[in-house]
Structures are given as C-alpha cells and as structure tokens.
Structure 1
Amino acid sequence: MDKQYEGVEVATDSQNTESINEIDNIDVEWTPEEEKALVRKLDRTIMPLLILGFFALQLDRGNIGNALTDFFFRDVGINQAQFNVGQQLLSLGIVLLEIPSNIILYRVGPSLWIGCQIVAWGFVATFQAFQKGLASFLVTRLLLGLCEAGFIPAGFYTITRWYKNDEISKRFSWYFIGNMTASGCSGLLAYAILHMRGVAGLAGWQWMFLIEGMFTVVVGVLFLSLFPQNTANPVSLLGVRLFNEREAKILTKRILLNDPSKRDVKVHISRQEMKNVFTNWKLLPHIILTIACIAPAGTMGSYAPTLVSSFGYERLKSNALVSIGYWILMLVNIAWGTIADKIRLRGPMVTFGLVIFWCFTLGNRLLVHSSDGKRRLAILICALSFAQNWHPVNSSWVALNAGTPGERSISMAIMIMSANTGGIIGSQIFQAKDGPLYPVGWSVILGLVTLGVICSFLANLQYFIMNGRKFTRKGLKYFP
C-alpha cells in the first residue's frame, strides 16, 4: 500500500518507518507554490554550476578535434595512429579512476571534490599547449583523463541529492547541456582562435588550449566558491549561503519524503553496496548499449571537422559547420529528458533515440562514396544531432533503479566507465589506411549502433518482465 504524505507518494513498509519518523522531526510545512518556486531557485543556482563544469570538461576534452585542422600532427610531430592511441589513453585514464573518484566524492562531498577536479584538469588542459613530440602528447592525454575521471557521475549523483526522483531525467538532460553547448561552441571558438596562428610565435591550436584551459581554472574556482555542500547545510566552502534556513528544511524534507533511502548518507560506501552493484546483472544491457553507441559518437566528435573538410569545405570553416549538429543536439536532448520525466517511461525514450541514431548512421554508410558534399554534410549533422540524446535518459533510468545512495554513486560511475570504454573503442574505428572515406569505419559504426538498439530492447524487456505492468492514475508504469 502507498499513502499520500503532503502530496508525495511514500512507501509504508517497515524499512521506511525509521525514515518517516526522521522526516516528521523536520519541523516545516510548505505550499505547492512555495515548492515550485524553490525548485526554480535550484534550477538557477545548482544546475548552472554543474552545467558550467560540464561545459569546461567537454571544451578541454573535445578541442583536440579542432586542433587537427590547424596542422596539429605536423607541429607536434605525431601521426594519425599515434593520435588514436592518445585518445585511448584519455579514456583509459577516466576508466581507471572513475570508481575511486566517486568513492572519494562520497566521503568528502561534491562541493570540494568536483571543484578541485575542475581546477586540476584546467591546469593540465592549459599546459598541453606546450607539448612537443609523441611522449608529451601521450602523457598529456593520460593526465587529462585521470584528472577528469569521476566528474560526470559525480554530477549525476549530486543531482539525485537535490532533486526528487521524478525530476531528475530532465535535470540529467540539462546537465548534458554543458557538454553539448561546449561541442557547439568549440567549433565556433576554434574558427576564431585558430586564426591567431603566428601571434607571439604560437600556433593557433596552442592559443586555443591556453585560452580554454585558463577558462576552466576560473570555472573551478567559481565552483569552489559558490556550490553548497548539501540540502541540510546549503553553504559553500567559502561561506556563501544560497538558501536560508527554512529553504534548507524544505529541500531536505521534500527529498526524504520522495525517497527515504536518501537519508542514509554515510562517509563511505559499504562492501555490501559494492557487491550489490557488481553482481547486478540488470546493468549489463545498459553497459553494453552505452559502450556500443558512445564509441561511434566519440569517433564522430574527434573526426567530424576532418570529415567535413574532406567533403570539400575549407578546413577552418569545417569547425563552425560541425557545431550546427551539436546545437540541434542540445535542443533534442532537453526534449528527450523532459518527455521521459513527463511520461515516466525512460526505457522507450532511450530505444526511440537510438533507433533515430541508427537511421542516420545507415545514411552515412550508404553515402560514403557519394560525391555530393552537401548531402553528406546534412546527414552527418543529423547523426550528430541524435548521437547522445539517449545517454542522459539511460543514466537516469539506471539511477532510479539503484537501491541506496552508495549504490547509485557506483552505478553512475560504472555507466561513465562504460561510456569511456566506448571512447577507447571509438578512438580506433577510423584508421589512416581506411581514409579519407572510411567505408570500413562506417560499417563498424553501423554494427555497433545496431548492437546498442538490440540491448535497449532487452533492457526494456527485463524491467517489463521483472517489475510487471502496473496501471496507475498517472498511466502505465513498469519501471521508474
């Protein structure tokens, strides 16, 4: 049985009795209008800082693709095969420290750990402007990955601590606005900054790394200065208070009413929680589809400007043209998360997004020998527009099926490890001997996306069978 408690459905089994008693001890009542206003305040304060951090991460991670259009290989002294290895090392660095990073996050809190991460990779991103030779290139990419490890799942976890369960798919999608806006801006910024080649004796790509890396350091300092520690104590490390005492009580109580398991925040993740996650076979379809479909997205992100240049467009202008796809992706991404929360069916939205991505991937493969540069550009932009809109919804789908905050944190880490494993694979899909058309590469991409679509169907099926169909006043519900 469920009962209504201040307009929120709360399970009343014995496991939640203690939680409800604790909730009752928070002496605060509020109106729906006051709660809506407070959620809007969250959206204006918490989300912009997380989005800005993700913007900086993607800017520093993805601008290497723009550097390729400014004679990066020649200036640094590497070839395409060595570049692919460097991209693999970046993803490997993230995979290696993803879970340790989230264990530290769980112990010290998001405000300190995330802020320090941003500052750390910002300095690495800045000083990569002075790399020369294969060794420095490989070391720089690995260091960048190690410093960035854990940021994305840390953001996911943080969102689940500030928002109710039926609010997080939309916010996960908003979080990815930072990623997609950076991808869109990256090409436009590159088009402007790369024209600085020769200023102070530096190449255009060196100026790009310097300017964008220092911007990231500033973002990190801003995060440390403003981001509140938690709902009960919404004060930043430097003492900046964004919410008053009454708002803090409302923020805490509304979250506990919605999900009493969130009260049990320990300073460490238990062995049982770790075991529960690593023996949870239901994660497998999510993991496989993430690896299979992020790999093609990573390949496109690294090589899209080079591909567009091969279609007959001027090398620097190609950076700006690629950004069109990412601006469209940002809008599609917001729509996907909003609809998923509205209809409370995350799985079908993931599958629908992947099917669209598959269609445009097929189009790219069929046009691989076409001499029509405009048509190839249009289909590539469409593929970029639907390459990752399913990913935030898939992550929220996993988060909502986690049993405890600790399990949720590790599950999010595993999802991003999967994404970066896809990045390791994606870094080797386009080989120099297959260029500039890459027919084999596009065939591999099509096969991977097909595998992802199949796994998304399997993920839907497993929850449908295990949870059963349940009709409620709010419609069909067979998984969160």
Structure 2
Amino acid sequence: MPISTTPPRFSNSHSRAESSQSESSLSSEKVKDDIKDVVQEVLPTVKDVEATSVAHDDKERSRILRKMDLRLLPFVSILYLLSFLDRSNIGNARVAGMAEDLNLVGLKYNVAAAVFSIPYALVEVPSNIALKLFRPSIWIPSIMLAWGIIMTLMCLVNSYAGLIVARLFLGVAEAGLFPGITFYLSHWYPRRKFAMRIAIFFSAATIAGAFGSILAFGIEKMDGIGGLHGWQWIFCLEGLATVVVATLSYFFMYDYPETASFLTESERRHVVEMLKEDSRSLATGFDKRYIFQAMTDYKTYAQIGIHMGLLITAYSISLFAPTIVHQLGFSSAQAQLLTVPIFACGCCSTIVIGILSDKFNIRGPFIIGCALVSMVGYIVLYTTSTPGSGYAGCIIAAVGVFPTVPVDLAWIGGNVGGTLKRGVAIAMVIGMGNLGGLCSAFIYFDGPRFHHGHGTIMGWLGLSILLTCFMMYDYRRCNEIKEALCQSEGIDESQSDAFAELGDDSPLFRYTT
C-alpha cells in the first residue's frame, strides 16, 4: 500500500480553498505556512489566561498509578487471557483430535482458523465507537458474555460447516475487546506510562498460550465423558469460564477516573489533571469529524502496515506453535507441553521491553530491535532440520515478536490526539491489522519444514521494520516543524484550548518516536 509522505495539515477550510497544489507535492515549508495561517486565525480569539496545571509530587503520582494498576491491570488481563484462549484453542483442539473427527483435510483447518479474522476486523471500529457512546462497564462485559456463550456451544459442533459458522460468530463477538481495552486504558494513563501497562495487558495472550496448552493436555483426557470428545470438552470448559467472568465483570469493572469509586476525591482530581496535561487539552467530545480525521490520516495507514506485519507473526505462533513443534518430531502430548516455554519466554520479554520502552520514552527502536530478534528465530526454523534447533528457533521467534505488539499499540495510542480520533485510529490499526490473520492461517501448509510459512513471516517482519524506520523519521520531522512554529509565533501551553479541535495537528502536540 503506498504511503503518502505528506506532513500533517490543520483542518482549515480557508487554507484548503486557497491551496492549488496537490497534497503529495507539499514541502515542509508549505506545511509550516499552512500552520501559520491557522495560528493567525486562532490566536486573536485566545484570552490571556494563566496556566492552571499544578506541579504534582512524583511520589504521590507514582502511588496513585500503582493503586490504579492493582485495580485495573489484573482484571483486564484476565479478560484478554480468556479472549485469546478462546480464539486460539482451535490449535490445541486440532492436535487433540478435532482434525480427524471433523475430517479437516487439505486447507479446511486453515479456512476455519482464518474466517475468524474477517468479522473480527470489520467490527472493531464500530465497537470502539460504541464504547465511546456507552459505559465500558456495560459494553465490554456484554460482548464477553456473547463470545463465552458461543465458545461453550462450540462443543456441539460435529461438522466442518458448523465449525465455520461458529468461528464467524466468535469473531463478531470478540472483535471489540482488544481495541476496546486498549482504548479504555488510554483514558486512565498518560502516554509515557502507557507501554508498560499495555505490555502487562498483552502478556495475558502469551500466558494464554502457555496455560491453554497445559489445560488442553489435561482436558484432552476427558475424552468420552458425556459423549463428548476431548477437543469438545476444551471448547465447553473454556467457554463456561468466560461466561462466569463476564457475568462478574458487570459488577467489578470501573468506567473512567472521574467516577472511579476506588479513588478518593483528591486522587480523582489528580488523575484528571495529569491526563489533561498529557493530552494538551485536546478535544474529548463525540463528533463525526474526528472519525473522519482518523480515517484520512496517512499516519494511520502506515501504522496499519507495521501492525499487520507484527500481528501476522504473533498469530502464526499462537495458531501453529503446537503444530510446528509436533512436526519437529515430538508426540502430540509432548507438543502440547513443549508449547508452554515458548509462550512463557514471550511473556517475560513482553513485560521487560514494555518497562524499558516507557523508561526511555521511545517506541520505534524497540519495535525494530525485537522484530530483528524474531527474524533470527525464523531464520533458524527455516534452515534447520533438527528438533532441538527448531525448538530453539520457536522460542527466539516468540521472544522477539510478542513485545512488539504492545509497544506498537502504545506508539499508536500516544501519537493520536483527541479521544475519539484515538479510539477510531486504534480500532482501525488493530482491525485492519487483524486481517493479517487471513494470511497467517494459510501460510503453514507444507510441513514439516514449513518453508513457505517461515519465509512469508520474514518478509512481513521486514516490512514492519522498514515502515517503522519511516514513521520514526516522519514523527521527528513533524515535531521539528511544530517546535519551530511555536518559537516563531510565541505559542505556549496557556493557549492549548485554542487548538483543542485540531487533534495531533495541534502545534503543541508532540509525537513520540
């Protein structure tokens, strides 16, 4: 997909009307002129007001953030653990005998794994808009209850067609959770504290991979009980667990800091002020033009390309790790258990990289470095024919790719100004990125070496690396333009309200690289 290198422009109809050049031909100097035009229009309406931001004690801020962590992160991590467990347990079910019972010959399993991604990608943007309109404590538990019921009823599937239909409905129901929780957390944490929290949240996916394999190993032994196969019990029991947690979520999920009952009145004011300072007073209301801003921003589509390459890799590991390990020469039971260290190592690296990314307040270099590590793992898998080396390659690939997903999401969420635009941009990136699930479902068909699959993954990782380099350069260039403009026009934080509707095009907004 071609990516425009046009720098961001303000939504100024006067400037657009007078512009006679195509967008692609705009130089940095032209963008600077456009921004000046808007500033000249806005500044006369700005009243002289004193900055209202209050200097908060770092210890107090850290204490409140830890309090929020203890209340929010374990809960949302459990939600995502169940979500990832329910979408990826088809891989465990396949090894547990589903392929033979449903006669999943040829590419039938690949199709069943892939169809989930289609509704999943299409529903994510509408779901995040609904999350903005409705309370999170209502919307998120409701979609969770829906997919829990679907997963439970998948134990009754007895044909290939039934499996396809169930996976389609599962994709519709699960679509809103991942982008919804990412958007939800962005209402609680400032941008510089975001990557570690997303990493902890996303690490639930790696735990789900490890826990799912152990669980499948035990549940598989229930084969024949109640007239169900072992793989059917996997769907049934894991679905029932989701239903129980979803029901409890209606009573234990908080909405936003302004109404959080676990915070005192002074703590709520502290958090609200902290987030206001971090957002540079950008718009928080619902307006359709913010949806349009997100959908027409070239940076959104560049981030989609980055995220797609990373997600295809992560999904491939989640869907095919048991199969890849099994094809290396290990038995079915051994493959289920040997998958656990792969996800456990991925979980540890995800949290460590998230902490380091927040500490240094950089995103791009960590994405590039981890993607290169993952590529090394796939090179090992591509070139080796021995079980030990192949298994080591699986671990290296997981250690590299899993941390890139939360860091990239923190990068996306932190570089989009305004809550609604941020919610739509996050949903677009995750939704369209998840279309990569279609790719990951069909590239692993030539076992035991899987040259097509491993080679395709290396190509996608390479694309993510190149686009990350481009976005680091572009964000840095845009920041330089804004800094020069603020200096020349005397723009400071006291005028932030005047630029609230401009989102990340505001001259006061700075991108993280």
**TM-score normalised by length of structure 1:** 0.87
> Does residue 403 of structure 2 align to residue 389 of structure 1?
yes
Aligned to 2:512: 479
Aligned to 2:284: 265
Structure 1 letter corresponding to 2:456? V
Structure 2 letter corresponding to 1:258? D
Question: Among residues 266, 280, 289, which one is paired with 1:246 in the alignment?
Answer: 266
Aligned to 1:58: 84
Question: Among residues 208, 218, 234, which one is paired with 2:244 in the alignment?
Answer: 218
Aligned to 1:340: 357
What aligned pairs does 1:186-335 form with structure 2 within 5 A after superposition? 186-234=212-260, 241-261=261-281, 264-266=283-285, 268=286, 270-335=287-352
What per-residue deviation string (whole Å, max 9, x for no partner) do you get for residues 147-169 of structure 1? 01121111111111111121111
Aligned length: 445
Alpha-carbon distance, 1:428 to partner? 0.9
> Does residue 367 of structure 2 align to residue 350 of structure 1?
yes
Alpha-carbon distance, 1:142 to partner? 0.5
What per-residue deviation string (whole Å, max 9, x for no partner) do you get for residues 204-236 of structure 1? 1111111111111122122211111211111xx
Aligned to 1:171: 197
How far apart, CA to CA, are the structure 2 residues paired with 1:455 and 1:420? 17
Contact residue 322 and residue 381 of structure 1 kept, 8 A: no
Aligned to 2:466: 454
Contact residue 118 and residue 216 of structure 1 kept, 8 A: yes
How far apart, CA to CA, are the structure 2 residues paired with 1:466 and 1:259? 17
Question: Among residues 170, 173, 176, which one is paired with 1:150 in the alignment?
Answer: 176
Alpha-carbon distance, 1:249 to partner? 2.5
Question: Among residues 341, 359, 363, which one is paired with 2:376 in the alignment?
Answer: 359
Alpha-carbon distance, 1:45 to partner? 0.5
Alpha-carbon distance, 1:479 to partner? 2.7
Contact residue 305 and residue 433 of structure 2 kept, 8 A: no
Structure 2 letter corresponding to 1:202? L
How far apart, CA to CA, are the structure 1 residues paired with 2:136 and 2:401? 29
Give secondary structure in 2 for the equivalent of 1:427: helix
Contact residue 376 and residue 396 of structure 2 kept, 8 A: no
Aligned to 2:442: 428
What per-residue deviation string (whole Å, max 9, x for no partner) do you get for residues 372-402 of structure 1? 2111111112212222211111111111111
What per-residue deviation string (whole Å, max 9, x for no partner) do you get for residues 64-91 of structure 1? 1111111101222333412211222101
Structure 1 letter corresponding to 2:449? L
Aligned to 1:4: none
Contact residue 475 and residue 511 of structure 2 kept, 8 A: yes
Structure 1 letter corresponding to 2:443? I
Structure 2 letter corresponding to 1:441? G
Alpha-carbon distance, 1:21 to partner? 8.4
- Name the CA shift for 1:35/1:289 in 2 (closer, same or farther; >3 Å): closer
Contact residue 153 and residue 412 of structure 1 kept, 8 A: yes
Give secondary structure in 2 for the equivalent of 1:435: coil
> Does residue 73 of structure 2 align to residue 47 of structure 1?
yes
Give secondary structure in 2 for the equivalent of 1:468: helix
Alpha-carbon distance, 1:341 to partner? 1.0
Alpha-carbon distance, 1:285 to partner? 2.7
Unaligned 5+ segments in structure 1 are 1-12, 235-240, 471-476
Structure 2 letter corresponding to 1:390? T
How far apart, CA to CA, are the structure 1 residues paired with 2:304 and 2:347? 23
Question: Among residues 46, 52, 60, which one is paired with 1:34 in the alignment?
Answer: 60
Alpha-carbon distance, 1:260 to partner? 4.1
- Which segment is superposed worse, 297-306 or 141-150? 297-306
Contact residue 54 and residue 175 of structure 1 kept, 8 A: yes
How far apart, CA to CA, are the structure 2 residues paired with 1:467 and 1:32? 27
How many percent identity over aligned positions?
25
How far apart, CA to CA, are the structure 2 residues paired with 1:124 and 1:16? 55
Aligned to 2:431: 417
What per-residue deviation string (whole Å, max 9, x for no partner) do you get for residues 70-123 of structure 1? 110122233341221122210111111111111111100222111111111111
Aligned to 2:393: 379
RMSD of aligned Cα (Å): 2.4
How far apart, CA to CA, are the structure 2 residues paired with 1:15 and 1:219? 54
Contact residue 328 and residue 448 of structure 2 kept, 8 A: no
Give secondary structure in 2 for the equivalent of 1:386: helix
What aligned pairs does 1:123-134 form with structure 2 within 5 A after superposition? 123-134=149-160
The structure with the larger Rg is: 2
Alpha-carbon distance, 1:14 to partner? 6.6
Contact residue 381 and residue 389 of structure 2 kept, 8 A: no
Contact residue 293 and residue 422 of structure 1 kept, 8 A: no
Structure 1 letter corresponding to 2:303? H
Aligned to 1:6: none
Structure 1 letter corresponding to 2:457? I
Alpha-carbon distance, 1:427 to partner? 0.8
Contact residue 191 and residue 316 of structure 1 kept, 8 A: yes
Aligned to 1:237: none
- Name the CA shift for 1:17/1:112 in 2 (closer, same or farther; >3 Å): farther
Alpha-carbon distance, 1:173 to partner? 0.8
Contact residue 261 and residue 405 of structure 1 kept, 8 A: no
Aligned to 1:139: 165
Contact residue 304 and residue 430 of structure 2 kept, 8 A: no
How far apart, CA to CA, are the structure 2 residues paired with 1:179 and 1:312? 26
Aligned to 1:100: 126
Structure 2 letter corresponding to 1:438? F
- Name the CA shift for 1:343/1:142 in 2 (closer, same or farther; >3 Å): same
Where does structure 1 differ by over 4 angstroms across 4 or more consecutive aligned residues?
13-18, 20-24, 28-31
How far apart, CA to CA, are the structure 2 residues paired with 1:120 and 1:23? 45
Aligned to 2:420: 406
Contact residue 365 and residue 446 of structure 1 kept, 8 A: no
> Does residue 79 of structure 2 align to residue 79 of structure 1?
no
Unaligned 5+ segments in structure 2 are 1-41, 484-509
Contact residue 327 and residue 447 of structure 2 kept, 8 A: no
